[in-house]
Chains A and B, each alone.
Chain A
Amino acid sequence: EVQLVESGGGFIQPGRSLRLSCTASGFTFGDYAMSWVRQAPGKGLEWVGFIRSKTYGGTTEYAASVRGRFTVSRDDTKSTAYLQVNSLKTEDTAVYYCTGDCGSDGCRGFGYWGQGTLVTVSS
């Protein structure tokens, strides 16, 4: 059974930093690009960034709204993806989901999702 478990969310003051983790099981993590998607309370889905698999260079892409403040990384030995979020703003308050992106069998949308971790940015 595929599982993605996010952790690291919580209540944090504006301007501070946080690192979110996403631990995977049930599939060959290293073969997949991993994306992060967030959802502000009562709002829609916003893709924030992803990291390619090592096969494709392990490079990253980011939405313009977070570029320069957010960093996605991965540790394939731990089957874990990370989202480093810096200089947090109140508008970063959201549930953050990690998802499986393109895999060894190609790109088929986001078939795997975690349950999400809530980040609340407030003074």
Chain B
Amino acid sequence: DIVMTQSPDSLAVSLGERATINCKSSQSVLYSSNNKNRLAWYQQKPGQPPKLLIYWASTRESGVPDRFTGSGSGTDFTLTISSLQAEDVAVYYCQQYYSPLRTFGQGTKVEIK
């Protein structure tokens, strides 16, 4: 199985400041047929199902604010929230869908400092 490891497990950021979450996969998730990374990011707020933010490592889902940016390739990926808002308090997960055995990272909890 492809193991997804996120860092840090939690972070506290002041309103308006940048939040950065890292995700590392145990093997490359670059899909050779279209040269895109099969890596997604999700946001989950308490009591709600996860919400897709980013797919193909860097493509924002429709309706997602542009303060959310995904980057990286191969095995190393980053989700950046450029200016943290109160409504961004949540747990964030990365996920690979390269392998038929999909796997998630353990999650990163983002709070307000």
A-side residues, CB < 8 A to B, are 35, 37, 44-47, 50, 61-64, 97, 101-102, 107-111, 113-116
Report B1-12 CB contacts with A as 1/0, cut-off 8 Å. Answer: 100000000000
Which B86-106 residues have C-beta < 8 A from chain A? Answer: 91, 93, 95, 97, 100-106
Query: Complex Cα distance A61/B100, Å?
Result: 7
**B50 CB within 8 Å of chain A:** yes
Determine the interface band of chain B, counting residues with CB < 8 A from chain A. Answer: 20 to 34
What are 27 sample pairs from A and B whose C-beta atoms fall under 8 A apart? A35-B102, A44-B105, A44-B106, A44-B107, A45-B42, A45-B44, A45-B50, A45-B93, A45-B95, A47-B101, A47-B102, A61-B101, A63-B1, A64-B1, A97-B50, A101-B97, A107-B97, A109-B40, A109-B55, A109-B97, A110-B40, A110-B42, A110-B50, A110-B52, A113-B49, A115-B49, A116-B49
**B17 CB within 8 Å of chain A:** no
